[in-house]
Amino acid sequence: MFDLEMIRDVYSSYKSKVDSAKKILNRPLTLTEKILYAHLKQALPTEPFKRGDEYVFFGPDRVAMQDATAQMALLQFMQAGKHQVAVPSTVHCDHLILAETGAQSDLDNANTVNKEVYEFLSSVSNKYGIGFWKPGAGIIHQVVLENYAFPGGMMVGTDSHTVNAGGLGMVAIGVGGADAVDVMVGMPWELKFPKLIGVKLTGQLNGWASAKDVILKLAGILTVKGGTGAIVEYFGDGADSLSCTGKGTICNMGAEIGATTSLFAYDDSMRDYLRSTGREDVVTAADEVADYISPDPEVAADPESYYDQVIHIDLSTLEPHVNGPFTPDKAWPISEFAKAIKDNNYPPKLEVGLIGSCTNSSYEDLDRAASLARQAKEKNLKAKAEYTITPGSEMVRFTVERDGLLALFESIGGVVLANACGPCIGQWKRHNVENLGKNSIITSFNRNFAKRNDGNPNTHAFVASPEIVTAFVLSGDLTFNPMKDSLINENGEKVMLDPPSGDKLPSKGFDVEDAGFIAPPEDGSSVEVLVSDTSERLQLLDPFDAWDGNDLIGLKLLIKAQGKCTTDHISMAGPWLKFRGHLDNISNNMLIGAINAFNGEANTVKNHITGSYGPVPDSARLYKSEGVGTVVIGDENYGEGSSREHAAMEPRHLGVRVVVVKSFARIHETNLKKQGMFALTFVNVDDYNKVQEDDSISFLGLSTFSPGSQVSMSLEHSDGSKDEIELNHTYNQLQIDWLTAGSALNLIKRN
């Protein structure tokens, strides 16, 4: 049982804070509004905050960090001059374990290969009072749901899927490491007050449909940027019918629609889950404020009056969905998927099916998938594709092994991987991937960008529920529809799969021998954190230079990125994860996945000093050595995807001064600001087309840079002609102070 006194303290003032907010708004409140106003770290306003417009300071209850992003977050925290974290914080070692042969061997290998990093994270945790979850303990978001999330709470995490905790009624927001440092040092944390999207769920799931299909359908409705700047709040009788972990799945993939976070109201499914995970005391405390961690009844009765957008989904008629390839918002109902495969010439043969991950690795998920494995044994079916299973935590893994589920998966050829992210984030040593042409895989993960899982641009990755993935594994054919098509078993007989079934929670309760948690000592002042000067994986940080307040003249174009440019394109994961604690080394992957608009190629840009073409990082390093600042131009929703701040720190480190795009994804825009960079947008998106390869670029009017102002970008073309382009920004005065200081961290240290 963690943080009980903190949770009780949060609830002790909940009623008075929410009642005070209700007087200001003078109307019933949504759940989101109750949680946000209850976590203000500033005086109550005299007027309601303007959604989508006004920056507000909050005081989150806790911080969670996964090992890949924790390295940079904690390297920054070490510079802040604090002796201990101000709020409960944890580190989770889940990203650096490479999936290759199986759970134990992969874990053993990770402990050897990553020894230096794990020791660094453990020692920093011990020194500053941070809880440490060792390798193999589980995926951060599943571990948080099992141990830390609580209804009505607020947390930040250095991973975009922190939003998973919304399944337990928590406003949980993915941030960059610099934002986490703000919270860990006890400073107010800033967020633009979000807009509200209400999703009314009616009816109940049945047959093959699962909670995963709710968010797959919603992704098709809202697209990858439809939730940007908004919190998605689910309500209705359909919401009450879902399991707590099913709610977590839905909230988890809210990151794929760009939402700030997603959440459900406190209900019986949450009570059941809290009790099942040994947190009866949290139930007792939450029940005392139950009306304050749910929306007011008037909201559900008339949602259009309280949300900025309302979407209705009937669970009773919801079809299973398959999304992809290459983007998580290309949504196909199962009844249309076979046609989509044929019409779009997607490879119909399934090579690999992968289930688990932070999105779908609960007991319920694995039990429902295992029911199909059980049918396969009974109906004499064999897997027609490779099959991997990733449990979400050691507690889940131990429990499903006890209940015989792992044996069922292994009976049809399944390989159980370590309790870690693995293939979901590119930590997958897929065999013979280099020689594969166009091929298809299907996962129960959350993202499916090109090359994300296995590094192969020819791999078409689709996303579905664990049940649908397992059905496809038994067929080996993506044109198969388990709701109506039969399979031929080993005896040559036609057999049909029955709809999956499974328990929401284990009937015998959860069990575990070693959950993997290591508590910090009460006094860590004597703990020494060692970072070798010759390390290839860890590097102490030097402060970024301050901005002198002057215009930026004569900058060169580093790259004009065309089309989707996610944080995976800007700072790839996979094998690059090993450098997440070494800014200079990881900067060698900067923008190597972005497509150059002038030649349609990745990692090939013109350098205006040499006149030749070469890799993006090499060109940036040459410009930096010559004292020439550079500019990155981007398309829509630039920086979509992960919260990784390396995608902002690498350009900053290699001399990029300004990023100008049609639109930003929320977390990436904030990360750029935190690192002291100019993040600007075109007033007229068609002006993107005016930027030419050989331009000399200047930014004018910066001496009067202020909230609400515009910036002029001057393009001097190689033929002597010029274009003047107007740009917008969303900086407030504090964020301008970050610019002036060189970074938010510089400002913290100065103050």
Q: Is 491 exposed, middle or buried (0-12, 13-18, 19+ CB in 10 A)?
A: exposed
Radius of gyration (C-alpha) of the chain in whole angstroms: 25
| Tokens of residue 265, six digits | 């109201």
Q: Which residues contact 571 (CB under 8 A, 6 or more apart)?
A: 586, 589, 590, 644, 646, 647, 650
**CA separation for the pair 255, 261 (Å, rounded):** 7
CA atoms of 264 and 245, how far apart (whole Å): 11
Q: Left, alpha or beta for 326 (phi > 0: left; psi -120 to 50: alpha)?
A: left
CA–CA separation, 161 and 175 (whole Å): 10
**Nearest alpha carbon to residue 290 among 263, 314, 268:** 268
Give the distance between the most distant pair of CA atoms in the chain: 79
- Helices assigned H by DSSP within 325-421: 334-343, 363-378, 394-402, 405-411
DSSP, collapsed to helix, strand or coil, labels residue 39 as coil
> Cα dist. 352→130, 275, 490, 499 in Å?
38, 36, 20, 22
Sign of the torsion formed by the C-alpha atoms of 480, 205, 256 and 360: negative
Strand 230-235's sheet: what is its strand order? 261-264, 230-235, 195-202, 309-314
3-class DSSP state of 153: coil
For CA atoms 84, 90, 96, 100, the dihedral sign is: positive
Residue 151 burial by Cβ neighbours in a 10 Å radius (0-12, 13-18, 19+): buried
Query: Rounded to whole angstroms, how far apart are CA atoms 169 and 30?
Result: 12
Q: Where are the alpha helices (H) located in 540-593, listed in sequence order?
A: 567-570, 583-586
Would you say 663 and 633 are in contact if contact means Cβ atoms under 8 Å apart? no
Of 718, 743, 737, 714, which Cα lies nearest the Cα of 726?
714
Burial tier of 449 (Cβ tally within 10 Å: 0-12, 13-18, 19+): buried
Under 8 Å between Cβ of 238 and 203? yes
Helices (H) and strands (E) in the chain, counts: 26, 30
Our measurement of the distance from residue 302's CA atom to the centroid of its chain's CA atoms, rounded to an integer in Å, reads 32
Residue 235 to residue 546: CA distance in whole angstroms:
47
DSSP state, residue 138:
B
Active site residues: 94-95, 159, 447, 642, 644
Strands 696-700 and 189-192: unpaired
